[in-house]
Amino acid sequence: MTAMLPIPAVDPVLDTESWWWEPLAIVGLKVLVVFVIGLVGTMFMVWFERKIVAGMQNRIGPDKAGPFGLLQTLADGIKLFFKEDLIPERSDRFVFKLAPFLAFVPAFLIWSVIPLGGDFSDGRDGTVEWFGQITRVQLADPPVGVLLVLALSSIAVYGVMLAGWSSGSKYPLLGSVRASAQMISYEAALGLSLATVLMAAGTLSTSGIVVAQDRLTDWHLLSTGVVPFVVFLIAMTAELNRPPFDLVEAEQEIVGGFHTEYSSIRFALFFLAEFMNVISMSALLVTLFLGGPQPLLIGSFDLFAVLGPFGGTAWLLLKVFLFLYVYVWFRATLPRLRYDQLMDLGWKVLIPVALGWFLLLAALQLGRDNDLSQVSYVALVILCLIVLGLGYLLFTAAISVARRNRDREGAAY
């Protein structure tokens, strides 16, 4: 064999010189497992949400199909498959058929870069050995890791946008314009809070980010201050169009939003994509801020030590589960935001806070890298706070001036 093909180093298993069935079988198996976990997880999530919301509203919820109603989602899915597939007469047929896939595929692909387990203890890099091959418990570990997730979530905008436009009717169009404006606005806050994590970890790769969170104090939730985590959680909820940010499908105003005209399996794809996104973005949040498969040690006691090599996966599932519950809780308790409140929160609160915090952490990182003495480090912190304070004053002044101008002109909003 002469020149080896330059396969991107996304998986150590592909770096071997001898290409035989084992690496391919491992990669194929991982693809299958990730796909099945995604689908089963989504099925479970739909049931979980209905059950928890029912509990919070003092109802029983699904309880007929299977034990505890667990198979309800499966029954609904089969029902949706056999329903008539309607395509509106005034729709753009090709784009109408394309849009559900554009929503669904990115939701799945995010799973491919999430580390699902592996041995990260004591600074190990999470590789495991299967059948004599070294690999990761993660479908792919591209060098751009987290950027891939951002790219995918920006592709997901197309699904919503084109679905609304191609339906050829006004409510879906209104819903999709709302949705894309919302997703684009909150992507900025999302990216800025993510940048603080990338700066703290010093890498873009998701497994590298997990490795960087070795001890509890290194978890980015704590090491970046709690602010980026909160911003990320809110921006992510808005990005997913979940309540209280579900103006996209505000049924009192615009019927069902962008998927009003969709029926049968095409609607099911949008539905699946939404729940899939909830799970995969929760997994991303856990990876970025809570150490992914890293165990939460109490002293040196690991709760899932009995599971051996699957302990990391158990920890990941537990943490993801926590956030899934938080999402359902949001939905059950918070009223929907008004459109101007939504935009105010995104542009006037989240983006400035995320940006200011990012600048502060960048200055601190610079001080640490240059080995400043104690005194000059404190001086640096004070200087940063003064600059940020001035920025805040300017910002509030600008807002109040804008508000006064708007009142004077009598602009209608």
- For the bound state, the minimum distance from the C-beta of residue 15 to other proteins, rounded and expressed in Å, comes to 10
- For the bound state, the minimum distance from the C-beta of residue 196 to other proteins, rounded and expressed in Å, comes to 16
CB atoms within 10 A of CB 300: 6
Nearest C-alpha neighbor of 368 from the set 355, 381, 357: 381
Could you list the residues that contact other proteins (CB under 8 A)?
5-6, 8-9, 92, 94-95, 142-144, 147-148, 150-151, 154-155, 157-158, 161-162, 165, 173, 177, 180, 184, 203-205, 409-411
Any residues with CB less than 8 A from the CB of 308 and at least 6 apart, and which?
none
- For the bound state, the minimum distance from the C-beta of residue 386 to other proteins, rounded and expressed in Å, comes to 22
The dihedral sign for the CA sequence 291, 294, 297, 303: positive
Smaller CB separation from other proteins, 114 or 221: 114
Smaller CB separation from other proteins, 396 or 405: 405
Smaller CB separation from other proteins, 96 or 270: 96
Any residues with CB less than 8 A from the CB of 242 and at least 6 apart, and which?
274, 278, 327, 330, 331
Smaller CB separation from other proteins, 26 or 147: 147
Smaller CB separation from other proteins, 165 or 232: 165
Q: Which long-range contacts (CB under 8 A, 24 or more apart) does 89-95 make?
A: 89/168, 90/168, 90/169, 91/166, 91/167, 91/168, 91/261, 92/165, 92/166, 92/168, 95/162, 95/165, 95/166
- For the bound state, the minimum distance from the C-beta of residue 412 to other proteins, rounded and expressed in Å, comes to 9
- For the bound state, the minimum distance from the C-beta of residue 341 to other proteins, rounded and expressed in Å, comes to 21
Smaller CB separation from other proteins, 236 or 320: 236
Any residues with CB less than 8 A from the CB of 15 and at least 6 apart, and which?
7, 9
Any residues with CB less than 8 A from the CB of 327 and at least 6 apart, and which?
49, 237, 242, 278, 282
What is the token pair recorded at 84?
């008539």
- For the bound state, the minimum distance from the C-beta of residue 40 to other proteins, rounded and expressed in Å, comes to 29
Locus of tokens 């890099």: 125
Smaller CB separation from other proteins, 36 or 151: 151
Nearest C-alpha neighbor of 147 from the set 105, 214, 197: 197
- For the bound state, the minimum distance from the C-beta of residue 139 to other proteins, rounded and expressed in Å, comes to 16
